[in-house]
Structures are given as structure tokens and as C-alpha cells.
Structure 1
Amino acid sequence: MIGELDADGVVEYFRGKSILITGSTGFLGKGLCAMLVEKMLRVQHDVKKLFLLVRANDVESSKQRVQTEVTGREVFQVLKEKHGNGFEDFMEEKVCTLTGDIMYEDLGLGNAKLTEISTEIDIIVNGAATTNFYERYDVAFDANVLGAKHICEFAKMCTKLKMLLHVSTAYVAGEQEGILLEKPFLMGETLREGAQLDIESELNLIKETMRELKANCSSERTEKRTMKELGLKRAREFGWPNTYVFTKAMGEMLLGHLRGDLPVVIVRPSIITSILKEPLPGWIEGIRTIDSFIIGYAKQVLSFFLVDLDSIMDVIPGDMVVNAMMVAMAAHSEEQAQTIYHVTSSLCNPAPYAVLADSVHRYFLHNPPRSGKNGEPVRLSRMRFFRTVPMFRAYMSIKYKLPLEILRLVNIALCGVLSRRYKELSRKYSYVMHLVEFYAPYTLFKGCFDDMNTERLRMAMKNNEKDKSRGYDFGFDPMSIDWDDYFYRIHIPGVVKYLND
């Protein structure tokens, strides 16, 4: 049972706390972690210390990475203005970088440092992960599975730990349809009926495959391709669409199995989009599926997209995810249980892809992108959408594969004169088909994420206008979002400003 909360109580909870945050410099994790670090320091300047675990060669390199990839980002502008010339001193006092990696036991920290911080840490936020859908199996397993294990083991060493919050993804649900509940994965559970998963066996398979590759003196390219294909094969064998969500699901299993009586919260966001309200509306880091569509349209390099415009895209602004994380930490502190939260929007405020498509077209019609030396407006044409994979494949076959086959035959007749052109176009065709294969589980997703636990957490928070005036907005209710307004006025301009390089 969650007790009544308010923003003042959430802010006060973090006073004097030391918090370990992983993933602050990861490709996608750093956007969310940067928002979390910024919010904590902005609303509670009396937080004791934020320890950021960073993969680097030495302490100096890790500090440089944090300054460049976290505290140097635009999202810290409000905090910089608040502290003025004292910003650097404030950050030096509150932020401590740790050189290490969750893929190693003891997080790759030396014994002395491990002993020192294990007596200091009150809260652990594990945001570290590799999010590449088609990652090497060994790399994804190290980060997403063993990483969860190592974090859990470290958490048990922390003598005053009050909370371990693990950031997962709602898409550990795979390609299931219907209402998807906020329930944990049990060890060995799979999404394919009759299949039984053994995580230890998966680790042994990875090790054995790597031994064979080394014994055969395989090239780096062969090794990379083999390990990527292995990850995808194993994921699909157990019912997941790609290596990323498969390994994230296994990480959740291990965490639940090993936690003992540790207070654990698993936050499963859907597709995280740009900041809705504060501190910087529109700020975003890391390209998501829907952002590829926006950028492709802006540059007019993407004339078609695989998506059912009537289907629901589950997106959630990054600041709402951070708010939910902070409220959950305060709500479940020292509670010897595991709680799972879907921080999602498909159930309470569903947004069809048609809303995004219309907002994108209107935005660039009113704010035409420019190109060329003279900066002339790009001539816009509406994008073509395909609602099923067979429809898309048929279009690609007629429009691209058939001309490609004709080019191949002409090239043979001309003794290879057009080989370079054929290889280039063939590579582009394969790349597009490859992308579609990985995006389809998301753009054609038929599930709906139940958020009953999250709704209880929202209901426990009392709204106070006085709190908002002080920058204490901890709202995470998707019902408050007008999706068309958000996309047109905030998200699309944010993508153009921060991602459209």
C-alpha cells in the first residue's frame, strides 16, 4: 500500500542521500540519466552525492566524459543559470565520477573504492544498457543480463541501501497482443509456449561460440556477424523479436531471482520522447523509431514507412519518466518487495500514428526545411504508409528489387562495368529491408500496456500549485498531454533542433 505523497515530501526524501547512477554516458541511457541528474540537483540542492559510474580508462577520462556527455548538455541550462558562476563548484561538490562498468563483478571498481562507496550509497539507479536491437549477443548479454546481476550483488553489499531502481523497457513483452500486465518475469519464463530458458546455458553458449571463433582464427568482421546472428536466433527461439528486449527480459529475471529482500522497483517505459515541460521542453538525446520518421521526412530521404496509421504508438515524454522514477523511489524506500511500473500511455491516453503523421506534415508545411547553397525550401511530398509487412515487401519488390535484378543482368552482359553501382544499390536495398525487419515489432505493435500500478502511484501524489511554482512538478499522467499539440509545438521542433544534424 502506497502512502500519500506530495512534491515537498519527494524532494525532502532525497535530502542527504547518496545515489549511484549507471548508464549516464550510454547511447540512449545518457538522455534519461542526464534528465534525472539535472532534476535531482535542481529540486534538492542538499542531496549528498551523485555517483556516476562511467566506462573510461582512468579517472580523468571519466570526469571528461561526464562533463561532455552529461553536465555539459543543454538540459542543464536552467541549473547553470540558477547557480551562475558557482555552477562548476556546485557540480564538483555534488557529482562524483566512478571509473567502472556493470559488465564486471564489483562493477569493475577496485577493492578500496568498492569498500568506500558501499558504506555510502542509499539508492541505486541502474540505467546502463545496450539498446541496439541487433547487438552482438555477447555484448548485449554482458550489459543487460550480467550487468543486472552485478548491480544486484553490489546492492547487497551496500550497508544502508534503501532502494534499487532498475530501468527496463515495456517492450520486454515482445510481440504479445492485448492488455499486458505489470508483472515480473519468472526465471526460465519465455514468450514461446513449450520453450524453457536457462540463462546459465545461454552464457555457456556464448563462451563456446567465442572459443570456436577464436580457434578458427575468424576475422573481427566474421566474429561480429556471427555473434549478432546468434543473439537474434536465440531471441526468436524464445519468442522475443530482437536481442535487446530478450536480454533485458533476462536481466529482469535475474534481478527478481537474486534480490532476496532488497527493495526493488523496475520501471518499464515505452518509447521515450522529448521533454514535455521542464527544464527544457523539446530537449531529446538519442534517435527513437518515430524520430527516424521525422528526420527522414524533413530531409525528404524517406518516401515510405512501415506503419499502420490506425495503430497506437506508445510514447512517453522523458521528464514524465524521470518524475515517475523519483516518486517511486520515495514511495518504496526500504520496502522489502519488488514492484513493476509501466510508464506508458497506450491505455489511458492512446495516440494513433495518424496523429504523428499529420503533425509532421503540418509542421514542415508551416516550417519548410531548407537545403542547398541558397537555402531554398525543400519541396515536400506526403509519405506513403504500408500497414502490413507483405504489402511493404510487394511494393519494394516491384519498385526496387525488380529494377535491381535487371541491373544485375545488364551488369553481367556488360562484363561487370556496372558492378559498383549494383553493389551500392543492393546494399541500400538490404539495409532498408533490414531496418523494416527490426522496426516492424514496434510500428505494428498490437499490445496495450496496463498501468494499474503506475496509476496507484499517480493517485498517491497530491497536486499542489505552489509546488509547481517552485519547480517541483512531479507529474507523470499521460492524460494531461494533448498529443497533437505536443508533437507539433514541442517534440518535432526538438527533434529538428537537437537531432537533425
Structure 2
Amino acid sequence: MSVPADTFHRGPALSELREPPHGPLLDGRLRDLLGGKKIVMTGVTGFIGEQLLWKMLTDLPDTKPSVLVRRKGSADAVSRVRNLLKKKIFADLAERHGGLDGLLARVEVIEGDLPNVPALPADLDVVVHCAGDVSFDPPIDQAFTTNVVGTRVLMERMLEAVTGPDGVRTKVPHYVHISTAYTAGRRRGAIPEAGHVHGIDYEAETRAGLAMREQVEAASRMPERLTELRHQAERVHRQAGYLTTAADTERRRQEWVTAELVAAGTERARSLGWTDVYTFTKALGERVVTDLGADIEISIVRPAIVESSWLHPYPGWIEGFKMAEPLILAYGRGELPEFPASADAVIDIVPCDHVVNAILAVCATDPTPGEPEYYHVSSGARNPLTFHDIYGHIRSYFTAHPLENVSKPGAPLPEWKFPGAVSVERLLSTSERAHGLAERVISRAPRSHQTRKLARDLDLMRGRLDFWRRYHTLYNEYAQSELHFVDDNTLALTRSLDPADQGTFAFDTAGYDWTTYLEDVHCPAITASVRRMDALRKKRANRPTTFKDLTNNTAGASAVAVFDLDGTIMSTNVIEQYLWARLPDLSPLDQVVELGEVLGRLPGYLLTEQRDRGSFLRAVYRRYRGMDLAELERRVDSTMTDFILDRVSPDALRRIQEHRAAGHTTILITGAVSVLTRPLRDLFDVILAAELGVDADGRATGYLATSPLVGESRAAWLSHYASLHGVDLTRSFAYADSHSDLPMLSTVGNPVAVSPDISLMRAAQRKNWSIVEWKTKPPTPRWRLPA
């Protein structure tokens, strides 16, 4: 599986720029050099930290690991470490130590966080700081808090631990700082293993970065910003009600704050010569280390792009998705048509176990106090991999092992031409504009099964475009990078490994070939879990999550089943119902006149409904003025019952009967006038409908007797009803078709969206609610009036 280092192409520039290594070398086996030493480490629950702990427990039996872990929710630090040690890679170790408790006894757990670091043990020998914010685009204050302030506080606690009451240093600790090779920023060419020269005042930048949170929060609360965000929320949620709109406005405000803080970090970093706030704050963190470590042993390890392991704990071991995995999987799904990289630029990938082995080797060195040593753990200097190379390997893998869940089944894999960042940006922007136009069209289209299908397709397209945009923005700088990391110190260190350690602790990046690593190790490892999840989703594709089988439901009278009428159990609306009630009383000529008036007012009615469902209902019910309600009741009972029942969906009728058989209280909540619901009385235990006001002669006044139950008022009524009748809403059901019913659906444990409008469909998809289609095919055309 390995090949000699000299079989690989060496970049001509680096072969000429090599310098004699100046770092300390190893003199003995690592188990002896680190035997009896206490290594305090951060980031043990992270990717590198987890394997670092595993390696110490596995191959350094006399080394004493001590881990700084923060409490998370109700789980304290010890519980979190216990859960960590339950993972697959620790199984053999636990058995070897007589069980989990025996293994846990080998690890000293310190509960704390960055930057809230508690006192560290006085007998520490080495501190390995591998925790940090590894997102490329965190909010600026978060990046500074973790990567700069956290580093400073950790070092201060370390120095306090080895300083006696008299202020005299009891020992010289070794501080090993895990940084990133990309702290070099937007430089080009060879990057030596040395400190980066810059004149940035990290203390001033930290103060400004931390203060940005308060500034952006204040800006988010300015009237003009809140008005803009509220209008955005109202366009989506106006019909659902004020509280729903308010909640969404606040969500948008918080998202705006985060986006602004991310943008502030990115722009500040780039204005000073770094690709992003992650590399910027990691570079400032290095300066903190060298300043505070002026008289102790300091080593700074700079890994490149860390991916799955080459050999240990097993080939392909990986935790979570890192930098390359989302892009690899997106390509395999056919969702990444191009990439903005230079085809001949080097992508510097290094397996995780090489990084871990290098860190432990560095821990075993004795650098001169006050003279920081730097180590690049990278592959580009001696085993270069270009973007065109990795594209070829990934394409080869997915050609031989295609994913089942792809964006366009049967379509060939994208062929990257590497046209350049400008061309990729143009293609992405054009696609985004096309999507925006399609979204505007679909939002105005009549509701139908086909409309929902088109909306779902647009949502999938939006997801792909958002993914493409995000990674184009994040990684464009890295893809265009022309950094070449010199690794002379690291190479000298790996060559100084004792021969007995070469197999266990090797970290020579020329020791593997890319075809084997990418096509036989890395790609299979990252796609295995995806293939399992795809198979599980396929198996569950037709299994609803909230539309439950009621055959063995035991909730009985403690549950209710609430149904909306229009568009849910009947494909009708209040205007159509008004025409049923009004037109049979009129002469043919008056029918034409009345129908013309209704059609003329229809655009205004629709605009009113978009603003407020209650106002829309009140406007329609004005047209009932003068109608004899007693006569209408007689006509409903005598001639309209069958007409109305024929329009009830058979699927809805079946579901209502299932609920009644299960002992659930069935409730109909509708904006229709109550007289028109009389044919449905045998289906429901409770009917809430619009009550028309009448005068002394029993004729409709055109006003409602009570406010209509719409939007949030339905949810409020249901909650009150439940409290009065001992109803368990978590076991109850609700069925509706409109986004205005989102509050009511959210009130129960089993909400179901029935033939929903696009807004409700999207909400249901986000919340993992069942979406069902209840179709109605009445025996007579919809334009036919009741006889």
C-alpha cells in the first residue's frame, strides 16, 4: 500500500528551497520518552482529540492523559468522557482494562470550557491545545473567544499550575499548540515552518471583535431593521396570526445578527490578508502563544486539511464531515456541476492518524525554552495532489460505486472543466436568478398536486444552489491557493522515530499513494454512512410520521381529532358556498348579475385574504345580508345535504370514522357559516362555524354574531377546550390545508397537512409532519348549483 517517497513528483520550487531542519529530534521510543508524563489536552471530543486520546491509551501505557471537557446540558464532563469511551474505537481498550470503568480510571477529567478554564493539575508536563472553532465562517466574536481568548486563558492557567506560592516556576512545561497550515493567509509560494511576520495588534483586534456582537445586536433592534424583518415575516405568516409573525420576525433578527457577525469576521480577515476569520484568529492565537510562552517550551503544529485515517485506528476512520467530504458527496449526487479551483493547484490533504502521530512525536521533543518550533503536517511538499487529480480519483470512485440517491437518476456524473472562478460564479448566479424567477411564478400558481410537485423540485434546487453558493464562498480562496508548505522539520522528526515506532507512529506523508487512499479508503468511508441513511430513508419513504395507524390507538377520549373544512375534507371555499346559498333564490337574470358582482370583487377578496383571513370572511359574509336563515336551513336540510356530502373526500370520511372508532372526539373548525355545516353533524362531536347575525325578522344582517375562528384563534380555542375537558393534545390530531392553520397544527402532537398550500407544505417538511392528498370527485360539476 505504500510506495517510496522518491517515486512521487516533487515541486521544483520546493526541492530548491529546502533548508536544514532546525527542530529537536527524538532520542528513543515514544512510550519511554512520554512515559510517566501527564499530558493535559483540550478538544478530546473533537475529531483529532478523540483519536489522540485513543492513541495515548492504546500505545502509550505509562502516559497519563488529563482532558479538559465542558459540561453539556445535564451531562457533566465525566459523563461526556464516559460516553466518548463507549465508541467503537475504544471497545478493545475497555475490554483490556476490565470494562468501561477501568478504562475511565486511566483518564483524569477536568470540567471546564474555553475560555472558562479552571485550575489545571500542578503535575502537568505537557499541554496539548487542539480545541478551537474549526468552522471557516463563525461569528467574529465567537472566533475570537475560542481561538484567541481561549488560548490565552489556557496558557495562563498552565503557567499558574507550574508556579509555586513564592512565584517561582516549579517546572518548565511543554505547550503544544495545534493550529492550521493556513494561518499563512493569502500569501503565495513556499511557507516556511516559522512564525508568520505581521504587525497585527491581536489585543486591539480581540477587543474590536468581541465588541462587534453588542454593536450588531443594537443595529438589529433599530426600527428600520425591525420593520424590514417584520414585513418579510408577514409576507409568509400574515394569515397565521400576529404571534406566529412575531416569532418568525425574531428568528429572522437572530439570523441577521449571525450573518452580520460572520460577514464582519470575513471582511476584517480579508482586509488584513487572511482568507477568513478562522485562519485570521488562529494566526493571532499563534502570536498569543509565542508572547506568553517566552520562557517555556513551545511547539506549534500546523496540519493542512485533515481527513480520514490512513491506518489507525482503522483505515478510513473519521468523525463527522470535514472540509472535503461535503464536496465529494455533492459531486457523487450530481449536485456540483463545477468547482472554482485551478486544475493544477495543490489541495493539501493529510490523514488524521498522521496528524495525531506527529502531535505525539512533537510532545516527546524538548524544544529550547523561548524558541518556538513549528511543524507543518502536510502532503503537498513531497506527495502533491492537484485538484485535477482528486477530481479524477473521485470520479473514478463514483463511476464504479455510484450513489443511489442522486439529484437526477440516470444522469452522468458532472464533468469538471475547471473554467475558473469567474466562470463558475457566472454559472451559479445565472442559476440563482432562474430559480428566483421560477419561485415567483409558482407562488402565484393555483394550488394543485402539480404545483406542490414543482415547489418541491424548486426546494431541492434551492438546497443545491445554497450548498453550491456556501462552499463556493467558503472554499474559493482555498481552491485558488498557491501555498506550498515546507515540511522539513516534520520530515526530520518522522525520520528520527525509533525503528520500533515506525509502524505505529509513522507520519511521513509520502508513505501512501492517492489512488489507494482516495478510492479504496477515504471515499468508501465517507459514503458508507450516507448509503445506510439513503437506504433507511428509502425504506421509510412511504411511512408517515404523524399520520398514524389508529387501529390500536389507546388514547380514547383523552385525544381529539380536529379537522378544517374548506380544502381539507371538502374541495370548496366560502365564496362558492355563498353562491350555493344565494343563487337558487334568484331569477336567471339576477343570478348572472350576482355572479358578475362576485367575480368583479374577487381580486379584492383575494388580496384581503392574503392580508387577513378574518377580514376576508367578514367581507364575504356581508353578501348574506337580507337572507332568511330559517328558509336557508330548510333548503339545506331538504335539497343540499346530499349535494354537500357528495363533496366530502372519501379519504377524509374514512379518517373521521377511524377516529370515532378509536374513541376520539371529532371536531370541525371552519370559517363556513354554520347553517351549511348541518349535513356534517353526524360526523363530528363538536362543530365550530361562523354564526351569522340576524335581525328581529330572522334575516341576516351581513355581520357575524361572533368573531371567526381563524389562525391563532383556533389554536387558542383548542388549548382552552383541552384544559376544560382533560384532553391530551400531545396524543391528539389535527388536519388542515392552509398555512393560516399552522398554529393549530403546531398545538397537537400529530399534525397532518392535507393537500396543503406551498407555505404549509414547506413548513410541514421542515417539521417532519405527514403530508397527505385527499382528493374529491363530486358526481356533479363544481359549477352546478344544488337542485
TM-score, with structure 1 as normaliser: 0.84
Give the unaligned 5+ runs of structure 2: 1-21, 163-170, 222-252, 534-787
1:272 Cα deviation (Å)? 0.6
1:197 Cα deviation (Å)? 2.6
**1:5 partner amino acid:** L
**1:13 partner amino acid:** L
Asked if structure 1 preserves the Cα contact closer than 8 Å seen for 2:145 and 2:210, the reply is no
Aligned to 2:337: 303
**1:75 partner amino acid:** I
- Between 1:490-499 and 1:132-141, the stretch displaced more is 490-499
Aligned to 1:71: 85
Give me the whole-angstrom Cα distance separating, in 1, the residues matched to 2:411 and 2:361: 44
Q: Please show how residues 138-287 of structure 1 align to structure 2 within 5 Å.
A: 138-159=141-162, 160-186=171-197, 189=198, 197-215=200-218, 218=221, 219-287=253-321
Asked if structure 1 preserves the Cα contact closer than 8 Å seen for 2:335 and 2:464, the reply is no
1:223 Cα deviation (Å)? 2.6
* SS of 1:21 mapped into structure 2: strand
Give me the whole-angstrom Cα distance separating, in 2, the residues matched to 1:369 and 1:227: 37
Q: Give yes or no for the alignment of 1:456 onto 2:492.
A: yes
Query: Can you list the C-alpha shifts for 1:287-336, whole angstroms capped at 9, x where unaligned?
Result: 22321222123333333333333221101111111111111111226754
**1:129 partner amino acid:** G
Aligned to 1:343: 377
Aligned to 2:505: 474
* SS of 1:135 mapped into structure 2: coil
Give the unaligned 5+ runs of structure 1: 190-195
1:320/1:430 Cα in 2 relative to 1: closer, same or farther (>3 Å)? Answer: closer
* SS of 2:85 mapped into structure 1: coil
**2:515 partner amino acid:** D
Query: Can you list the C-alpha shifts for 1:24-69, whole angstroms capped at 9, x where unaligned?
Result: 22xxxx1111111111111122223x2211121589522222233x
Query: Can you list the C-alpha shifts for 1:420-453, whole angstroms capped at 9, x where unaligned?
Result: 9599566764553232011112222211111122
Asked if structure 2 preserves the Cα contact closer than 8 Å seen for 1:4 and 1:462, the reply is no
1:76/1:356 Cα in 2 relative to 1: closer, same or farther (>3 Å)? Answer: farther
Asked if structure 1 preserves the Cα contact closer than 8 Å seen for 2:140 and 2:264, the reply is yes
Q: Give yes or no for the alignment of 1:441 onto 2:477.
A: yes
Asked if structure 1 preserves the Cα contact closer than 8 Å seen for 2:148 and 2:284, the reply is yes
Q: Please show how residues 87-106 of structure 1 align to structure 2 within 5 Å.
A: 87-104=99-116
Asked if structure 1 preserves the Cα contact closer than 8 Å seen for 2:94 and 2:102, the reply is no
Q: Number of residue pairs matched?
A: 465
**1:434 partner amino acid:** R
* SS of 2:176 mapped into structure 1: strand
Aligned to 1:496: 527
Out of 97, 121, 124, which is 1:121 matched to?
Answer: 124
**1:359 partner amino acid:** H
* SS of 1:164 mapped into structure 2: strand
1:358/1:254 Cα in 2 relative to 1: closer, same or farther (>3 Å)? Answer: same
Give me the whole-angstrom Cα distance separating, in 1, the residues matched to 2:409 and 2:275: 36
**2:468 partner amino acid:** V
Asked if structure 1 preserves the Cα contact closer than 8 Å seen for 2:367 and 2:373, the reply is no
Asked if structure 2 preserves the Cα contact closer than 8 Å seen for 1:306 and 1:389, the reply is yes
**1:330 partner amino acid:** A
Asked if structure 1 preserves the Cα contact closer than 8 Å seen for 2:350 and 2:509, the reply is yes
Query: Can you list the C-alpha shifts for 1:107-145, whole angstroms capped at 9, x where unaligned?
Result: 1x2xxxx2xx43121110001111111111111100001
Aligned to 2:721: none
Aligned to 1:24: 44
* SS of 1:341 mapped into structure 2: strand
1:387 Cα deviation (Å)? 4.3
TM-score, with structure 2 as normaliser: 0.55
Asked if structure 1 preserves the Cα contact closer than 8 Å seen for 2:435 and 2:458, the reply is no
1:361/1:259 Cα in 2 relative to 1: closer, same or farther (>3 Å)? Answer: same
- Between 1:446-455 and 1:410-419, the stretch displaced more is 410-419
- Between 1:435-444 and 1:197-206, the stretch displaced more is 197-206
Out of 405, 414, 417, which is 1:383 matched to?
Answer: 414
1:200/1:423 Cα in 2 relative to 1: closer, same or farther (>3 Å)? Answer: farther
Query: Can you list the C-alpha shifts for 1:244-266, whole angstroms capped at 9, x where unaligned?
Result: 11111111111111212110110
1:126/1:499 Cα in 2 relative to 1: closer, same or farther (>3 Å)? Answer: farther
**2:289 partner amino acid:** L
Asked if structure 2 preserves the Cα contact closer than 8 Å seen for 1:129 and 1:144, the reply is yes
Give me the whole-angstrom Cα distance separating, in 2, the residues matched to 1:364 and 1:429: 22
Give me the whole-angstrom Cα distance separating, in 2, the residues matched to 1:305 and 1:480: 29
1:416/1:178 Cα in 2 relative to 1: closer, same or farther (>3 Å)? Answer: farther
Query: Can you list the C-alpha shifts for 1:345-390, whole angstroms capped at 9, x where unaligned?
Result: 1111101223322222222333333349xxxx96462223234111
1:285/1:378 Cα in 2 relative to 1: closer, same or farther (>3 Å)? Answer: farther
Aligned to 1:395: 427
- Between 1:221-230 and 1:327-336, the stretch displaced more is 327-336
* SS of 1:475 mapped into structure 2: coil
Give me the whole-angstrom Cα distance separating, in 2, the residues matched to 1:285 and 1:412: 41
Asked if structure 2 preserves the Cα contact closer than 8 Å seen for 1:287 and 1:499, the reply is no
Asked if structure 2 preserves the Cα contact closer than 8 Å seen for 1:274 and 1:282, the reply is yes
Aligned to 2:636: none
Asked if structure 1 preserves the Cα contact closer than 8 Å seen for 2:82 and 2:104, the reply is no
- Between 1:285-294 and 1:133-142, the stretch displaced more is 285-294
Query: Can you list the C-alpha shifts for 1:394-415, whole angstroms capped at 9, x where unaligned?
Result: 22244x1452354367569879
For the pair shown, which has the larger CA radius of gyration, 1 or 2? 2
